[in-house]
Amino acid sequence: MTEKRADMGHGTSDMGELTDIHLITRREAILRVTAFLGGIALVGGSSLLSGCRAPNTDAPFTPEEIAFLDEIAETILPETSTPGAKAAKTGAFMALMVTESYDAGDRKIFREGMAELDSRSKKDNGATFMSATPSQRLALLEKVDREQRTHSIGRENASRRKVGLAELPVEDIGAATAITTDTPAHYFRMMKELALLGYFTSEIGVTQAQRYAETPGRYDPCVPYKPGDKAWAPHA
């Protein structure tokens, strides 16, 4: 694959200068990913910040579905001079966050989006997403990404119209104006933001794609915790 990302990968102007980013808290990571995506709040953002979740009786993601999410994330954040999203196990992170943090409506949209991507890959490429070539996957996700940008800005503009604020510019004005505040989030918006959040808060994303300074101690993703223990303070 080439390093072409079309607004989607690490190392692009949208992502900023990664070498200037230090270890950050989960809240700061969510805020930064929001900024990368144009300043529109993340789907499920309040739940991601608070750690709250609605009861979930959905079937868990299968290993095949997690592998599918890994390939989506890898297309967005491929291996270059640093390991890509698949090496950081971003697919498993995406599945966990959807399961634990998204409400039932957004979980449904996300899973249906996975099926939609596979269906569109068959239509465009004559192959499932998993069987498509890296360049075919990239072309498909670039197309879907343009659609989600129009969709997301349309939702934001619907909110702005309610309070009399100026609207954000969008290429496909016709499609955007048909969107209301009640229109659900776009499935690829969810996938893209979770891929970014998962990768740039992973050990690989923190220590290799970004500059990591121990302040102090080692990277330890699994610290024992007992109910009632005080929360760990974030790094200064």
Distance CA 203, CA 83 (A): 11
Question: Who contacts 111 (Cβ-Cβ below 8 Å, separation ≥6)?
Answer: 58, 98
Residue 132's nearest CA partner among 207, 179, 75, 79 is: 75
Q: How confident is the model at residue 219 (pLDDT cuts 50, 70, 90)?
A: confident
Higher-confidence residue of 227 and 51: namely: 227
Mean pLDDT (the chain, rounded)? 77
Q: How confident is the model at residue 140 (pLDDT cuts 50, 70, 90)?
A: very high
Which two three-digit tokens encode residue 127?
């192959």
pLDDT of the residue at 44: 61
Q: Which of 14-18, 52-56, 215-219 has the highest mean pLDDT?
A: 215-219
pLDDT of the residue at 137: 97
Instruction: Report H helices in the chain.
Output: 26-36, 45-50, 63-76, 90-101, 104-125, 134-163, 173-177, 187-200, 203-204
Distance CA 180, CA 177 (A): 8
Percent of the chain with pLDDT over 70: 67
- Check residue 87 and report its DSSP letter: T
Question: Who contacts 45 (Cβ-Cβ below 8 Å, separation ≥6)?
Answer: 30, 34
Distance CA 191, CA 3 (A): 20
pLDDT of the residue at 169: 76
Higher-confidence residue of 227 and 57: namely: 227
Q: How confident is the model at residue 223 (pLDDT cuts 50, 70, 90)?
A: confident
pLDDT of the residue at 39: 53
Q: How confident is the model at residue 232 (pLDDT cuts 50, 70, 90)?
A: low
Q: Which of 8-22, 37-51, 179-193 has the highest mean pLDDT?
A: 179-193
